[in-house]
Structure 1
Amino acid sequence: MSDHGHDLVIGTLLEPPATGARELVALAELTERVGLDLVSLSDHPYWPERLDTVALLAAIAARTTRVRVASNLFNLPLRPPAVLARTAATLDILSGGRFELGLGAGAQQMWAQIVAEGGPRRDAGESIEALDEAVQIIRALWSAGPDVRFEGRYYRLDGARPGPVPAHDMEIWLGAYQPRLLRLVGRVADGFVPSSPFLPPEQLSAANRIIDDAAVAAGRSPADIRRIYNIAGEFTPEGHGFLQGPPRMWAEQLTELALTQGVSVFLLYRADDADVIRRFAAEVAPALRSMVAAERARGAGPTGE
């Protein structure tokens, strides 16, 4: 696994608050104002203390003009794929082609809450199969083709009319950690989304290998799949681990991941501090871009597979 040469995308992952919607939208506007590229929002619809992700994403799309916007990640069990297809297409149209769809199969530790909200109870294998079906349905409904008929184990469409068509060729990014889900990423996804607290850097190589092997087996190039990384860290005077140190150390560590693990999207995890966002944008992002560009110019990447 190495650099695939994708353009670097640097941004934030925000958490829907219990209150303070305007403050959250202000953090999204700040993400754009300081020159970052993407603002994303997590989705936990089974937590009533959180405001709704879809409504917040619409507000963010309406209040920004340049920054890309993404779900990170929509909860599939409580958001049916036909509805998700139309929600995502609407957000893409509203934003002028700036939205990317991130999807999650549903965290296993959250199934009690999902069931309590009226969602299905699925084991790990069933949730992956349902996610596979959902990706097929969503892509079919984004087309301008005939009515969609789909007979799956978990979802069924009986002549659903496709549309609306997204404003751009929207990508589908999947959150994944376990091998079977990683193989699904390799077969069908446009992007792979883990978070560093749950998949630390030393485990990226093994995960990428599974994705790449599955992509090749499906007749795809591993370079077709973007590697997105939600990164958690703390600025400290001295370095003592992954993203625990000064901004220069952050930039060096992230450059290594870009060049050796193909990560091209770095999103600051749970970015709820405006000062941290400003520092990340001013001191980490430019150094990261410069280092990756210099290494690529020297022939360090891309090398593909």
Structure 2
Amino acid sequence: MTVRKVVFGFGAPTGYDDVPELLRTVEQADRDGLDHFSLPDHPYLGERLDAYAAIGFVLGRTRHIAGIANVSNLPTRPAPMPARTVTTLSALSGGRVVLGMGAGGLWDRIADLGVDRLSPGEAVDAFEEAIVLIRSLGGGGGPVTHRGRHYRIDAIEPAPVAVPPVWTGSVGRKSLAATGRVADGWIPGHAADWLSERYRESRPVIDAAAVAVGRDPGEIRTVFNLPGRITDRPSAAPRDRAGRWVGGSVGQWAEELTGAVLEHGASGFTLFPPATRPRRSRSAAGPGRSSRPSARPSRRSTGRRREVREPEQPVHRVRGAPDRRVQRVGLPVDQPVDQPVDQPVARA
């Protein structure tokens, strides 16, 4: 099995009061060689920094790390505008940006901004159309005219630089298929991990849609949003009763992530450390709806205990994988991290 480059990142602080910590952690991550930092995009929340303004500022203070809005709130950012934003950021930063895309999850709050509410099916149609349109507005060439169901532009000149990779937060089958047809990466919703039922049922939908349009499914990376804790000693229960990864020692993380890459096709991880524990939005999960992912333990996660030899120094490399690192930002150990419950996703 060929293992593509595995990328590692982290969820950065997002509040106005968190600005010093945002700058400190991203600059440290940049020095230590992490691949990306992640910020949510919720323009209806007044306590949150604007994702793209913050990403642009931080990229100007760093040299290597990339930024991603995880994921962009498409209904509040009509497609031609993100195209201009990310191509500009790419040109200014030397390509250090990823376009995260979602169809919109918190429609009550989105509508509060004066945006017309779409049905789930309409939102996903607009989501796929937007990705195609955004790609057409980068990479040079002649003026673009588009007459779609949700977007219309007339003779707009594309940027001379290419649109960066597009990662989606798709959840429902229709949006998963759209990811397979037009996207470059997928962030499983609700912080589902590589042993979850959600991942096992969702990734084949992406792959089948990719094959149907002549694409290689292997070109679409899976990047997991990864809550969990890093402990100073091996944990006796690195997964909870539902089979969901909750963390452990450095050695346990290294072994688990290596298995995720080699056995389950993972090609990226975004850790949400304690400092960026997301603020719970009233409408994030909805009345009576649990924000926890549906996960079942597999044979790999039950019935076997594996000894983990701890490294003498916390170099935190993934054993057996490319020369990448698991965690290098100086995150505190033995701290629980909840899943990011308010990621806007394409649900249909």
Tell me whether the two structures share a fold, i.e. TM-score over 0.5: yes
Q: How many residues align?
A: 278
User: Secondary structure of 1:19's match?
Assistant: helix
Q: Which residue of 2 aligns with 1:279?
A: none
Q: Which residue of 2 aligns with 1:228?
A: 223
Following the alignment from structure 1 to structure 2, what is the Cα–Cα distance between the partners of residues 8 and 20?
29
Following the alignment from structure 1 to structure 2, what is the Cα–Cα distance between the partners of residues 228 and 284?
22
Structure 1 unmatched ranges of 5 or more: 274-281, 295-305
1:181 and 2:175 are equivalent in the alignment: yes
Q: Which residue of 2 aligns with 1:152?
A: 148
1:265 and 2:268 are equivalent in the alignment: yes
Q: CA 1:228 to 1:67, structure 2 compared with 1: closer, same or farther past 3 Å?
A: same
- The one-letter code sitting in structure 1 at the alignment partner of 2:7 is V
Select 2:256's aligned residue among 240, 253, 257. Answer: 253
Contact 1:230–1:267, Cα closer than 8 Å, also in 2 = yes
- The one-letter code sitting in structure 2 at the alignment partner of 1:43 is D
Which one is further off, 239-248 or 177-186? 239-248
1:84-123 to structure 2, matched below 5 A, reads 84-107=82-105, 110-123=106-119
Following the alignment from structure 2 to structure 1, what is the Cα–Cα distance between the partners of residues 150 and 2?
35
Contact 1:187–1:220, Cα closer than 8 Å, also in 2 = yes
1:187 shift after superposition: 0.8
Select 1:215's aligned residue among 210, 216, 234. Answer: 210
1:58-97 to structure 2, matched below 5 A, reads 58-97=56-95
1:276-291 to structure 2, matched below 5 A, reads 283=314, 285-286=316-317, 288=318, 290-291=319-320
1:116 shift after superposition: 0.6
User: Secondary structure of 1:91's match?
Assistant: helix
Following the alignment from structure 1 to structure 2, what is the Cα–Cα distance between the partners of residues 216 and 284?
39
Following the alignment from structure 1 to structure 2, what is the Cα–Cα distance between the partners of residues 181 and 25?
34
1:57 and 2:64 are equivalent in the alignment: no
- The one-letter code sitting in structure 2 at the alignment partner of 1:146 is G
1:157-168 to structure 2, matched below 5 A, reads 157-166=153-162
Q: CA 1:55 to 1:293, structure 2 compared with 1: closer, same or farther past 3 Å?
A: closer
1:38 and 2:40 are equivalent in the alignment: no
Select 2:20's aligned residue among 15, 19, 22. Answer: 22
1:18 shift after superposition: 3.1
1:126 and 2:155 are equivalent in the alignment: no
Which one is further off, 68-77 or 81-90? 68-77
User: Secondary structure of 1:219's match?
Assistant: coil
Query: How large is the Cα RMSD of the aligned pairs?
Result: 2.1
Q: Which residue of 2 aligns with 1:206?
A: 201
Select 1:138's aligned residue among 127, 134, 141. Answer: 134
1:164 shift after superposition: 4.7
Contact 2:55–2:67, Cα closer than 8 Å, also in 1 = yes
Contact 1:205–1:261, Cα closer than 8 Å, also in 2 = no
Q: CA 1:171 to 1:6, structure 2 compared with 1: closer, same or farther past 3 Å?
A: same
Following the alignment from structure 1 to structure 2, what is the Cα–Cα distance between the partners of residues 197 and 99?
22
Following the alignment from structure 2 to structure 1, what is the Cα–Cα distance between the partners of residues 204 and 63?
37
Contact 1:177–1:199, Cα closer than 8 Å, also in 2 = no
Q: Calculate percent identity across the aligned residue pairs.
A: 36
Structure 2 unmatched ranges of 5 or more: 240-244, 277-312, 324-348
Q: CA 1:19 to 1:37, structure 2 compared with 1: closer, same or farther past 3 Å?
A: same
Q: CA 1:233 to 1:283, structure 2 compared with 1: closer, same or farther past 3 Å?
A: farther
Deviations 1:181-217 (A, max 9, x none): 1111111111111256356632322211111111111
- Structure-1-length-normalised TM-score: 0.85
Following the alignment from structure 2 to structure 1, what is the Cα–Cα distance between the partners of residues 85 and 14?
18
Deviations 1:218-249 (A, max 9, x none): 11111111111110001244232013221211
Following the alignment from structure 1 to structure 2, what is the Cα–Cα distance between the partners of residues 195 and 14?
18
Q: CA 1:239 to 1:246, structure 2 compared with 1: closer, same or farther past 3 Å?
A: farther
1:239 and 2:239 are equivalent in the alignment: no
1:256 shift after superposition: 1.4
User: Secondary structure of 1:201's match?
Assistant: coil
1:68 shift after superposition: 2.1
Q: CA 1:119 to 1:239, structure 2 compared with 1: closer, same or farther past 3 Å?
A: farther
Contact 2:33–2:64, Cα closer than 8 Å, also in 1 = no
Deviations 1:235-269 (A, max 9, x none): 24423201322121112111111112211111112
Contact 1:43–1:72, Cα closer than 8 Å, also in 2 = yes
1:175 shift after superposition: 0.9
- Structure-2-length-normalised TM-score: 0.75
- The one-letter code sitting in structure 1 at the alignment partner of 2:236 is G
